[in-house]
Amino acid sequence: MRVQVAVNDGAPVRASLSSNGWFSVHLNFQTGDQAESSSGSIQAVSIDCSNEPNSGHSVWDIGKLSVGDKAEIHVVPMERQTADRGHTIHRVTVEAISNLDGARRLLNAISACDKELNAVIERSQRVEPEDEFKKIAIAIGGIFTELDRNLI
């Protein structure tokens, strides 16, 4: 799969995934009171699953978007042009936990982390002002999200 994405008739960014996995283009905007004046972003993301259980993630940051901007996405044949290199590339390797004992230790560590972070949320909800509690809850939610996305 290959796409070519351009914002406001600017220089196109080419992104592709030629192996098994997932490939997508994301438009991200804030909603709410400040939505009209805030900017959004557009990016392409690929997840290469051809070497499971390991995976590779690539992100192409295509640009910022504002109300009235035009984003064009073209799905193009693989043989047409090469893709630009992703701006963010990382590999997730689980070879270190390929044995049963290593997997058990990892699961125990994640479980202990989960219990401790949930205890912090519960304590802070009782003793912190609401605005501080929200900051703590968002930070801990980010930790859970990253664990889920990158490890579990």
- Dihedral (CA of 82, 94, 52, 60) sign: negative
The one-digit pLDDT tens for each residue of the chain (152 residues) are 788 899 999 988 888 888 888 888 988 887 766 656 667 889 888 888 787 766 777 888 888 888 889 999 998 887 655 666 666 555 555 555 566 677 677 777 888 888 888 889 889 989 999 888 888 888 888 787 777 666 65
Dist. CA 144–CA 86, nearest whole Å? 25
Q: Tell me what pLDDT residue 37 has.
A: 64
| Main-chain dihedrals φ then ψ at residue 142, nearest 5 degrees | -65, -40
